[in-house]
Structure 1
Amino acid sequence: MHAETVLLLVLAAVAVIVAARWLAARTGLPSAALLTVAGLVYALLPGPNLSLDPEIVLAVLLPPLLYSAALDSSLIAIRANTRTVVGLSVLLVVVTALVVGAGFALWVPGATLAAGIALGAAVAPPDPVAALAVGRRVGLPPRLVTLIQGEGLLNDATALTLLSVAVSAAVGDGYSTGGALGQFALSAAGGVAAGLAVAHGIRPLRRLRRDPLSSNAVSLATPFVAYLLAESVHVSGVLAVVVAGLVIGHNAPYWTSGATRLQTDAVWRLVDFLLEGVVFLLIGQQLPAVIGGLGAYPPGTVVVAAVVTVGSVLLVRPLWLWLTEHAPQALHVRLSGAPGADDDDDPSTPPRQLSGREITVLSWAGTRGVITLAAVFTIPAVTDAGDPFPARDLLLFCAFLTVLVTLVGQGATFAPLVRRLGLRADAADAARLRNQARMAAVEAGLDRLDELQAEQHDHVDDAAIESVRAALRTRLDRYRRRLEVLGDAEGAVPLSPQYEAALRVRRAVIDAERAELLRWRDLGRLPDDGLRVLERELDHQEHLLPARPL
């Protein structure tokens, strides 16, 4: 493919990604589903197409996406929901793979149990990108966001390890059950160890990471270092990336500067936006590859295989959630107090049992993505004996169909389902908690001012202390008034006309200041480098203004 063709494809992909985001914002449809459909449409048109290389997906695209998601997750919240997260990301993956494998062995001619389990391992792990994007937009409760995040971070390692075990059994590569269990345990433990090693290995770079540009370089390289380190010793690279991201994301606030965090967050948002867009476009473009080999199978076999795969994926998940949540009481850690008490905002409290509405939402959040296709494309074409891999083309088609059904079907209906069930986070309660934390932080600052004044350092001026103290007390009074407005509100955050008016006035003042600086630049009175410095000051002030009085 010529360089000009590649450049045109890249520019076209960026244009489609931006257009999908614009359309998603106006229609409420998830951009992941829109991009997948766009990829499907492009695959049917004449011209060059991109094939999915599983090695590139697993080694180049997946590490930064997983690492960014891990940085954005809460280690404390995931730890508080360990039982449910482990059940979803490990046990449910295994159960789904076994059910699909048994279905193929029983009802699909020419397929073996090992081949069916390989397919099941590929289709078992949900990709939570689409569900989380919609869930955050409609205000999904924090605990459900944590469960979807935690499952999506950890289930890929389980699926890929199980897939390699099933493929080894299918191609006759010295498979044994005991060896498979040992391989699984070693891969998981080694992945965790590699992730911890990388997370602690960057600690000596603290001073370097206080420089925003150096910090970005280190942050972008970290997921690839974790992945390559783990893969070099034949353990789970995916798990290493996730563990490194969770630990670094938890500890980074202690030693990164504010400027570093602002820039690094912006860089990762852009990386996520572009990589996720490319991934979903790539999914749709695999249509020719997955239907090309179906001519060798009778239509009835194709239909049965599709029903077994998609049916297992859609039915096993809600059944598993219901069974695990209604297991004997001895297997659960329950909240003391009234049933149904909401602990979503207190990760230190043992989680309560999921309600029926929450189980329904979690069941419908199981959208599959590129990891499913990348995994199934790693299945070899021939066995060690030189025979064709059992029903490989059929496995590719079933995996692709599962991605389409869940990503487009479930993804497009996820938001209406959440709204219909009325399952929303208590925004007013979250706003109260944030304002209480703001007040605690300001009071800590006032206490520190008292300590500085008492220590009577020569370089500390009393006038400076009083100036800062007055500003802090002004903020404290503002936060107290916000709490009074919030009061005993439940659900939506009550609007404060005075506060919203103040925000409009402040934005109008910043716009006027920015316009005046531009006028000075255009008149030649202010050089461009000076303009950029002053613009950054105004940009930071504007960034601090909330969209709503939360």
Structure 2
Amino acid sequence: MNNVELFHYLLLLICGAGALTWLAERVAIPPAVVLLLGGCVIAVAGKRAPDMDPNLLLAAVLPPLLMSSSFYTAWKEFRAELGTIVSLVLGAVTVTTAAVAVAVHAFNPGLPWAACFALGAIVSPPDAVAAKAILQRHPLPARLVAVLEGESLVNDASGLLLYQVAVSAALAATITVASATGLFFSLTLIGVVVGLACGEAMCWVLQRLSDAMLGIVVTFVMAWASYGLADAVGGSGVLSVVTCGLVLGIRQHRVFDAAMRIKAKATWEAIVFALDALVFILIGLALHGILARVNYEVAVLMAGLRVALPATVAAIAVRLLWVFAAIWLPSRMLAKRTGSQPWSAGEAVVLGWAGMRGVVSLAAALALPGNFPGRDLIVFSTFLLIIATLVVQGGSLAPLIHLLKLRPLARQTMSEHETRARTFGASLAVLEEMDKQASGFERVALERLLAEYRIRVTANEDAYALGAERVEGRAHFLRIELKLVGTSREALLGLHRDGKVDDGVLHRIESELDLEELRLLRLLEP
């Protein structure tokens, strides 16, 4: 397959991914599951698929997805739940690695221990891409979302360390506890330092750019640069991208202006959608190469099932046990002494069940050296485990959340309406002060602004203070405004069709109407 054919192939994949995503929405199944199964169907049908370098897949696709996830991570919740995240990143990953190795060796005693531990390390960390793709469609308690997203973003260091230890042991390389510990800390420290430096550099550049498109390009370039730089100097590329994204996410309100923020959000959403879709359909397509390497031999396929089944059961069971033993139970005991909010059983179940594996695990398996013992078996069983976790866990997550009746918890902070009332109230106070000193034409203009801001403040104060009836009244008023925006748009397009308005004026006014429509639709969201 030459470069032009590869380009056309990727375009077809994106089109197919769009169609499968549309189908998934109609049948209420997570798109990641439908995309994965679609790729598997194509692979089993024997369709030609390009051989993807796993390192290229990680370096090209993963950084933008991680940057997007970390950018939108709620920093306060992440910091508040850091202890729980560390427990999962260090404890759960390590215990899962050992449990998978023991379970696989028990059912496959001929497989070397080093290969069993390598498989355990490959499948132990949940995948950030998979977690985001499944969880972003379900409203969950903020604490639960923060832990799930935070864990999937930063568990790379521990998983990669165990992976490298297992590979070195299998290839008779000398590795000690001291060198392994040093490797872990170097991966983490270098990755975080490079990410901080890249994040600060990106913020410095963005504050000095007036062109929104250039700013958006900088954010994408820095996602890849932070990953590549950290990887080149012996750090964790994933941790570097995550740190870089967190820095930008924390400082975005000072770094971005309004135009850049709106354009960047739209651009990133479109590209992340395409990359998300490609990731899962490429995972499915990888089955073609895996089956080709084992020559479709029934004995090898059955051996893969004997490895994948105990590995999957062990990975799922250990995570559930760890969550209840190391997170849920201690939180109940701590709550009795301190009065803090404990983890509910429903939250613990979802946290334990949401351990999907994805592109990182598959890429790590494919990156095993060619002379690694049991390599084809490990790759095939990793693929089966990814399918099992995405289809079984990912597919059942929505019904489980519905069954447990998990909802975002009421928080001891101001409501959205009260926040708006306070925000607009600050502007209203400034206007009133300016009105006292104004005269003539300036006073007329200020009176119009005063009337508008008084309406905004009163509407939001009534919405949070006087209950549902006032909320519905405000919504009715907003729907009238939305209808007027549509009327203005039709009038503008009519003027353009009649040749009375040129394209430049059309686009400027249409952009203003778009922003107003987005504002009203946002205000109408429940």
2:422 is aligned with what amino acid?
A: A
- Calculate the aligned-residue CA RMSD, in Å: 2.8
Deviation at 1:207, TM superposition (A): 3.3
Gap change, CA 1:204 and 1:302, over 3 Å in 2 = closer
For 1:477 and 1:286, how far apart are their aligned partners in 2? 58
Query: How do 1:264-303 and structure 2 match up within 5 A?
Result: 264-294=264-294, 295=297, 301-303=303-305
Contact 1:109 1:301 in 2 (8 A): no
Contact 2:142 2:409 in 1 (8 A): no
Deviation at 1:76, TM superposition (A): 1.4
In the alignment, which residue of structure 1 is the partner of 2:180?
180
In the alignment, which residue of structure 1 is the partner of 2:57?
57
1:435 is aligned with what amino acid?
A: H
For 2:446 and 2:337, how far apart are their aligned partners in 1? 46
Contact 2:191 2:236 in 1 (8 A): yes
Post-superposition Cα deviations, 1:362-399, rounded to whole Å, max 9, x if no partner, equal 122111111110111111012xxxxxx11111111111
In the alignment, which residue of structure 2 is the partner of 1:546?
521
Deviation at 1:254, TM superposition (A): 1.8
In the alignment, which residue of structure 2 is the partner of 1:536?
511
In the alignment, which residue of structure 1 is the partner of 2:419?
437
Gap change, CA 1:393 and 1:199, over 3 Å in 2 = same
For 2:51 and 2:412, how far apart are their aligned partners in 1? 45
2:365 is aligned with what amino acid?
A: V
In the alignment, which residue of structure 2 is the partner of 1:507?
482
2:349 is aligned with what amino acid?
A: T
In the alignment, which residue of structure 2 is the partner of 1:367?
356
Question: Matched residue of 1:121: which SS?
Answer: helix
For 1:23 and 1:256, how far apart are their aligned partners in 2? 36
Gap change, CA 1:129 and 1:334, over 3 Å in 2 = farther
For 1:437 and 1:69, how far apart are their aligned partners in 2? 26
Correspondence for 1:376 among 346, 350, 365: 365
Deviation at 1:453, TM superposition (A): 6.3
Deviation at 1:266, TM superposition (A): 0.9
Deviation at 1:352, TM superposition (A): 3.0
| Greater mean deviation of Cα atoms: 67-76 or 505-514 | 505-514
Gap change, CA 1:214 and 1:329, over 3 Å in 2 = closer
Correspondence for 1:419 among 373, 379, 402: 402
For 1:549 and 1:481, how far apart are their aligned partners in 2? 17
For 1:179 and 1:185, how far apart are their aligned partners in 2? 10
Question: Matched residue of 2:50: which SS?
Answer: coil
Query: How do 1:473-484 and structure 2 match up within 5 A?
Result: 473-484=454-465
Contact 2:6 2:50 in 1 (8 A): no
In the alignment, which residue of structure 2 is the partner of 1:306?
308
Correspondence for 1:526 among 462, 483, 501: 501
For 2:438 and 2:335, how far apart are their aligned partners in 1? 53
Deviation at 1:10, TM superposition (A): 2.3
Is it true that 1:406 corresponds to 2:389 in the alignment?
yes
Q: Which runs of 5+ in 1 are unaligned?
A: 338-350, 383-388, 488-493
Gap change, CA 1:461 and 1:169, over 3 Å in 2 = farther
Deviation at 1:17, TM superposition (A): 1.8
Query: How do 1:222-301 and structure 2 match up within 5 A?
Result: 222-294=222-294, 295=297, 301=303
TM-score, L = length of structure 2: 0.92
For 2:108 and 2:445, how far apart are their aligned partners in 1? 79
Post-superposition Cα deviations, 1:51-96, rounded to whole Å, max 9, x if no partner, equal 3321112211111110110001112110000111111223211211
Question: Matched residue of 2:174: which SS?
Answer: coil
For 1:269 and 1:549, how far apart are their aligned partners in 2? 19
Gap change, CA 1:243 and 1:322, over 3 Å in 2 = same
Post-superposition Cα deviations, 1:434-465, rounded to whole Å, max 9, x if no partner, equal 112112212222344456568x699x945444
2:324 is aligned with what amino acid?
A: W
Is it true that 1:320 corresponds to 2:318 in the alignment?
no
Gap change, CA 1:530 and 1:425, over 3 Å in 2 = same
Deviation at 1:520, TM superposition (A): 1.3
In the alignment, which residue of structure 2 is the partner of 1:516?
491
Contact 1:321 1:363 in 2 (8 A): yes
Gap change, CA 1:296 and 1:173, over 3 Å in 2 = farther
In the alignment, which residue of structure 1 is the partner of 2:11?
11
Question: Matched residue of 1:137: which SS?
Answer: coil
Higher percent of residues as helix: 2
For 1:536 and 1:380, how far apart are their aligned partners in 2? 54
Deviation at 1:326, TM superposition (A): 4.9
Deviation at 1:485, TM superposition (A): 5.2
Deviation at 1:210, TM superposition (A): 4.3
Question: Matched residue of 2:207: which SS?
Answer: helix
Contact 1:499 1:549 in 2 (8 A): no
For 1:7 and 1:58, how far apart are their aligned partners in 2? 19
Gap change, CA 1:134 and 1:97, over 3 Å in 2 = closer
Q: Which runs of 5+ in 2 are unaligned?
A: none
In the alignment, which residue of structure 1 is the partner of 2:92?
92
For 2:352 and 2:154, how far apart are their aligned partners in 1? 17
In the alignment, which residue of structure 2 is the partner of 1:357?
346
Gap change, CA 1:334 and 1:96, over 3 Å in 2 = same
For 2:300 and 2:59, how far apart are their aligned partners in 1? 36
| Greater mean deviation of Cα atoms: 151-160 or 298-307 | 298-307
Deviation at 1:303, TM superposition (A): 3.8
For 1:504 and 1:328, how far apart are their aligned partners in 2? 49
Contact 1:334 1:352 in 2 (8 A): no
For 1:354 and 1:316, how far apart are their aligned partners in 2? 18
| Greater mean deviation of Cα atoms: 255-264 or 439-448 | 439-448
Deviation at 1:255, TM superposition (A): 2.7
Post-superposition Cα deviations, 1:335-373, rounded to whole Å, max 9, x if no partner, equal 854xxxxxxxxxxxxx63211111111122111111110
Over the matched positions of the two proteins, sequence identity in percent amounts to 33
Contact 1:369 1:403 in 2 (8 A): yes
Gap change, CA 1:452 and 1:209, over 3 Å in 2 = farther
Deviation at 1:132, TM superposition (A): 4.2
Gap change, CA 1:156 and 1:486, over 3 Å in 2 = farther
For 1:258 and 1:357, how far apart are their aligned partners in 2? 40
For 1:130 and 1:298, how far apart are their aligned partners in 2? 28
Contact 1:51 1:285 in 2 (8 A): no
In the alignment, which residue of structure 2 is the partner of 1:190?
190
| Greater mean deviation of Cα atoms: 214-223 or 295-304 | 295-304
Contact 1:78 1:150 in 2 (8 A): yes
1:86 is aligned with what amino acid?
A: V
